[in-house]
Structure 1
Amino acid sequence: MSTPASLPRLTRHALSALSQHVLSPGHAAWREPSIGIVHLGIGNFHRAHQALYTEEAMLAEGGDWGICGVTLQGDVAKRNALMEQEGVYSVVERGPEGAKVTVVRALREVLAMPHDHDALFARLADPSVRIVLLTVTEKGYCRNAKTGDVALDNPAVVHDLSHPHAPRSVPGILVAALRQRRDAAREPFTVLSCDNLAHNGAALRQVVCSFAREFDPALADWIAAEVAFPSTMVDRIVPATTDSEHATVAAALGYRDAAPVPCEPFRQWVIEDRFPAGRPAWHAVGAQLVDDVTPFELAKLRMLNGTHSTLAYLSMLGGFATIDEAIADPAMRNLIHAMMTEEIAPTLNMPASFDVADYRDALLARYANPALKHRCAQIAMDGSQKIPPRLLGTIAARIDAGQPFTRLALAVAGWMTFLRGYADDGSRYDISDPLAENLKALAASANGDPRALMDALLGVREIFTAELAAQPAFRAALLHALQLLQDNGARAAVAALQ
């Protein structure tokens, strides 16, 4: 059997031999598009999500929407690997029935900042580029969490304000590129955030405008008036690439791919339909183009992210290593099903076309996918940042409605108990969190007393508001859940809440 290293490299020249692995519209040949999209922060998620949608959209209705991908961390190795393959790569979709390998062609160019600074800004000045798309994570926005404006103490922002023609930060790059378009009297591009950040379009608009206002108020006013920043909601589980993907692709294609991407079968993209300069026909290939993304954001945040965190913390205590292993436990599945049905879904206000029960069932099926092995330890990271939007907002909505939230309280109690640093069987694990040292010290100071643990952690204002921390119903439900975990362990506590 050939090993991946012994096979020829995957390139565009190989595509004619791989017809069963490339997307086809069924009625027309693929035409190589010119570049119409610049994507900042190219990584696995973009290549398994927006790039795939974009290729399908071009096959469905045409258009020059080829993608220039940009790595912002100086990752020359990634740039070189993809460019040696002329931008093509494979997506390995792993489901219960096995693996499906698809070769994607929408990526036409890859640049690495700061090495390709001039090439990037030449591309961004090109009127053919009508969308700049981002997946840079919330950290990449250089955003002041309290004000929403650009963080003026961020080192990259400090640099960019002093060197506006050699920017390093995302807001610096966007403002410099938009200044080029304004000064050349060219139509601005649309800026499309696809990061997991509430109201991501509006949030990015505020960051960009506040950055521009620091040195050119007129430019800030022009951006605010002329540039569209639609919001989006994206969803697809895209794990890190492993040796398994390289082997799967080699066996399926007979070619060596240096940059394959694994993912689950499920995908979702909800987009605020505001594109003055035009867009690909994403609506024709499954994306939802809507007037307001907010209800979909909230559904994902509470139904998916909230239950994901619940599974992660209770699993870390109960000894489940992966999400599929946890949801295969009947008591855990029943808990999550009831939590979504009875406690979370009633807090949502969705369009009539959105079936919450179908969404719930799709989530449960995704969790059960045995091919992904989504690690609970990975989902459990950064709980201090995740707990407030994923769980506390839903609890507040239940309190306002005068409704119970027993399972949601168990989720928060699971996170608090998780901070002790060991599972019910005594095995230890690391706690990765921006507030880790403080949180671990507070948990240790409780000496195993549930009330002391609750009081200590409810005092952390970065997580719990004073109003919620003092709310009698919240305190009573949380203390009951903490005591349940203390007395019985996570598995028995979950079983008790059926």
Structure 2
Amino acid sequence: MFTPLSLAMLDRLPPAVARPSYARSDLSAGILHFGVGNFHRAHQAVYLDALFNKGLGQDFALVGAGVMAADARARDILASQDYLCCVVAQEADSAEARVTGAMIDYLEAGNAAEIIAKLSDPAIKIASMTITEGGYFINAETDRFDPAHPAIVADAAQPDAPKTVFGMLVAGLKARRDAGLAPFTVMSCDNIPHNGHVAQNAVAGLARLSDPALAEWIEANVAFPNGMVDRITPATSERERKIAAEEFGVADQWPVFCEDYIQWVLEDNFPQGRPPLEDVGVQFVEDVQPFELMKLRILNGGHAVIAYPAGLMDIHFVHEAMENPLVAAFLARIENEEIIPAVPPVPDTNLDDYFALIQRRFANPKIGDTVRRLCLDGSNRQPKFIVPTIADSLKAGGKIEGLALESALWCRYCAGVTDSGAVIDPNDPNWDALVPVATAAKTNPQAWLDMGEVYGDVGKDARFAQSFAKWLGLLWETGTAATLTRYIDTGH
């Protein structure tokens, strides 16, 4: 017996499924969130739901917003079930389901007037976002906001009719300034270094193109706290919908499955107030950077390390990749010899213990995370999760052989066929541009490293280029398994 998810049906859910102890009428909107995807619903929304269950912070309920075509479908699904969501947290030997109710509305996707009006509401104290690493209009070659991006140019030309998240944030802040209202805090929840600073550069940078005085006001008055977020959350497929219904009795059109582990570290910089999230486990610190760098390099970088060899060897799930002795040994050697040595000390944290935790999390068989998801969007992820570690190691005279091999594996993957000859479907926003460069790199490896937007000065380093060329040649000549074996056995 499956119970359709809705407010009216909450009391009919199976007893084992946790549900909100608060009434929807207890809540009022305080946060507008852009990018209502799986990660947001497994992370920020879960923390807020737990807080509301304690009777705290209930004036910080979520209102969803989006600017992408897919957001319209997401809104329709969530609206049909009263914005409720079934979140299933899984470990190897356990699984627990809970229904969260922290979202109380979801604005029409892309409706700039409606979104700006809500941002103008003084009740909205925080505008948060999970818009992915590629959503911040960063020029990877300069690592700065790109004012020449066509979408930014278009919003600068029509600031009253924006189409991007940042255009809407600028318009909302302008409306509040003009009305004499205090600005909302802008909170990035994306996996990018210094995410608060990056968000500030995008918001102020866009404003500066059409209204320099507004840009100065934003820089002087708007808070952009940095934060580190962490919870492995795969995409939802029919598999997850079936498990939610058959094992937990919840008919959710868009359930979220995730690991049990969850972490959020935030700078406490919220001038207009914030929910007391420390009461549900959020860690507030003066400086997020050490935690952020640890996570981005060890976890996100580790995902990239296992992704491409697993993809080339036709491995489907991430836990299956960790069961492969070559992939697991490849990850362990790179982390211990190249990544962890490039991570500065983190308060109250043992980096070796942290990596052991990461290995257990990657190996969780219940998550169903796919290798293809980890391979996605390398052109945006490599410059953030891999290349900075290489750059630091080169400066310090450290080891880079394993990370050169990781880069060669990404290049080999982007040639579009696995070792078995299976075609790799497009898996990057820049796939059509990457494939011919990866193909050319088979005979001219430097062609790949000349992608300045990805590698910058690292691609010009002779030691790295020599190592990259060697590994790429071996991958084409002997295949992924044999190349991994050589690295694991010899380190070079």
Is the TM value for this pair above 0.5?
Answer: yes
Residue aligning to 1:474: 464
Indicate which of 186, 190, 205 corresponds to 1:191.
186
Counterpart residue identity of residue 92, structure 2:
P
Q: 1:458 aligns with which of 441, 449, 453?
A: 449
Q: Which residue of 1 aligns with 2:177?
A: 182
Equivalent in the alignment of 2:48: 54
The alpha-carbon distance between structure 1 residues 462 and 70, as it changes in their structure 2 partners (threshold 3 A), is closer
TM-aligned CA distance change 1:246 to 1:295, over 3 Å: same
What is the distance in 2 between the residues matched to 1:355 and 1:413? Answer: 30
- The equivalent residue for 1:417 is 412
TM-score norm. by structure 2 comes to: 0.89
Q: CA deviation at 1:291?
A: 1.6
Q: Once structures 1 and 2 are overlaid, which stretch shifts more, 224-233 or 162-171? A: 162-171
Change (3 A) 1:262 1:462: same
1:367 to 362, 366, 381: 362
1:79 corresponds to: 75
Report how far residue 50 of structure 1 moved: 0.4
Q: Offset at 1:372?
A: 2.8
User: Taking structure 1 as reference, are residues 383 and 167 closer, same or farther at Cα in structure 2, changes over 3 Å only?
Assistant: closer
Q: Which amino acid aligns with 2:109?
A: M
Structure 1 contact 311–326 (Cα < 8 Å) conserved: yes
Residue type at the aligned position of 2:38: N
Task: Please point out which of 31, 36, 39 is paired with 2:30.
Answer: 36
Q: How does 1:263-282 map to 2 (within 5 A)?
A: 263-282=258-277
Root-mean-square deviation over aligned CA pairs = 2.8
Change (3 A) 1:438 1:162: closer
CA contact (8 A) 1:58 1:281 kept: no
- What amino acid is aligned across from residue 80 of structure 1 in structure 2? D
Give the SS at the match of 2:455.
Answer: coil
Deviation by residue 1:335-362 (Cα, 9 ceiling, x = unmatched) = 2122212221111113231221222112
CA drift of 1:438 comes to 5.0
* Secondary structure of residue in 2 paired with 1:80: helix
Check 1:337–1:286 CA distance in 2 against 1; reply closer, same or farther (3 A cut).
farther
- Mapped to 1, the partners of 2:460 and 2:177 lie a distance apart of 52
The reply to whether residue 104 of structure 1 matches residue 100 of structure 2 is yes
Match of 1:327 among 295, 311, 322: 322
Q: Residue 46 and residue 419 in structure 1: after superposition, are their counterparts in 2 closer, same or farther (change >3 A)?
A: closer
For the residues of structure 2 that align with 1:460 and 1:162, how far apart are their CA atoms?
A: 30
Equivalent of 1:307 in 293, 302, 306: 302
Q: Is the 8 A contact 2:86 2:250 kept in 1?
A: no
2:350 aligns with one of 345, 348, 355: 355
Amino acid at match of 2:101: R
1:45 alignment counterpart: 39
Measured after TM superposition, the shift of residue 150 of structure 1 is 5.5
SS at match of 1:192: strand
Distance (whole Å) between structure 2 residues aligned to residue 132 and residue 461 of structure 1: 33
SS of residue matched to 2:33? strand
Give CA deviations for 1:297-341 in whole Å, capped at 9, x if unaligned.
222222122221221211223332222111102232122122212
The answer to whether the Cα contact below 8 Å between 1:61 and 1:281 also exists between their aligned partners in 2 is no
**In the TM superposition, what whole-angstrom CA distance separates every residue of 1:374-401 from its partner, at most 9, and x where no partner exists?**
3223322333333333223222222222
- The Cα of 1:279 is off from its aligned counterpart by 1.3
CA contact (8 A) 1:41 1:71 kept: yes
How far is the alpha carbon of 1:80 from its aligned partner?
3.3
Give the aligned residue type for 1:36: G
2: CA distance, partners of 1:346 / 1:309: 18
- Structure 1 residues 140 and 464: alpha-carbon distance in aligned structure 2, compared to 1, 3 A threshold: closer
Per the alignment, do residues 433 and 225 of structure 1 end up closer, same or farther by CA in structure 2, a change over 3 Å counting? same
Kept in 2: contact 1:160–1:169 (CA 8 A): yes
SS of corresponding position for 2:107: strand
Structure 2 equivalent of residue 229 of structure 1: 224
CA contact (8 A) 2:186 2:224 kept: yes
CA distance in 1, matches of 2:236, 2:478: 38
Task: Find the counterpart in structure 1 of residue 334 from structure 2.
Answer: 339
Matched, 1:397 2:395: no
C-alpha contact 1:199 1:231 (8 A) present in aligned 2: yes
The question of whether the paired residues in 2 share the 8 Å contact of 1:442 and 1:453 is answered with no
Equivalent residue letter for 1:44: N
1:485 equivalent to 2:485? Answer no
Match of 2:436 in 1: 441
Query: Alpha-carbon deviation of 1:227?
Result: 0.8
Q: Residues 342 and 144 of structure 1: is their aligned pair in 2 closer, same or farther, counting only changes over 3 Å?
A: closer
Percent of aligned pairs sharing the same letter? 36
- SS at 1:208 equivalent: helix
Structure 1 residue runs of 4 or more that deviate by more than 6 Å after TM superposition? 28-31
Letter paired with 2:481: R
Structure 1 pair 249/422, CA: closer, same or farther in 2 (3 Å)?
A: closer
Query: How far does residue 142 in structure 1 lie from its aligned partner after superposition?
Result: 4.3
**Deviation of residue 443 (structure 1)?**
4.1
8 Å CA contact 2:147, 2:205 repeated in 1: no
Distance 2:285 2:368 in 1: 33
CA gap 1:20/1:334 in 2 versus in 1, 3 angstroms = same
**Greater alpha carbon shift after TM alignment, 178-187 vs 477-486:** 477-486
**Alpha carbons of 1:252 and 1:128: their partners in 2 closer, same or farther (altered >3 Å)?**
farther
SS of residue paired to 1:263: strand
| Structure 1 match to 2:245 | 250
* Gaps in structure 1 of 5+ consecutive residues: none
Pick one of 88, 92, 95 that aligns with 2:88. Answer: 92
Q: Distance in 1 between matches of 2:430 and 2:213?
A: 40
Q: Which runs of 5+ in 2 are unaligned?
A: none
Deviation at 1:62, TM superposition (A): 0.7
- Whose radius of gyration is greater, 1 or 2? 1
Does structure 2 retain, via aligned residues, the 8 Å contact 1:419–1:440?
yes
Q: How far apart are the structure 1 equivalents of 2:32 and 2:450?
A: 44
Maintained 8 Å contact 1:171/1:207: yes
Alignment deviations for residues 277-296 of structure 1 (CA, whole Å, 9 cap, x no partner)? 11122222222222222222
Distance across 2 between alignment mates of 1:362 and 1:485: 30
Residue correspondence of structure 1 range 105-254 to structure 2 within 5 A: 105-115=101-111, 117-143=112-138, 146=142, 148-149=144-145, 151-155=147-151, 157-251=152-246, 254=249
Greater shift in the superposed pair: 15-24 or 177-186: 15-24
What secondary structure is seen at the aligned counterpart in 1 of 2:454?
coil
Q: What is the CA-CA distance between 1:442 and the residue it aligns to?
A: 4.1
C-alpha distance in structure 1 between counterparts of 2:405 and 2:338, whole Å:
12
Q: Which residue of 2 aligns with 1:22?
A: 18
TM-score (norm 1): 0.88
Q: Is the contact made by 2:310 and 2:327 (CA closer than 8 Å) also made in structure 1?
A: no
CA deviation after TM superposition for structure 1 residue 480, in Å: 4.0
Deviations 1:133-165 (A, max 9, x none): 11122444345554734635524x444444433
Aligned residues: 484
Q: Deviations over 1:86-106 (max 9, x none)?
A: 222211223322432110011
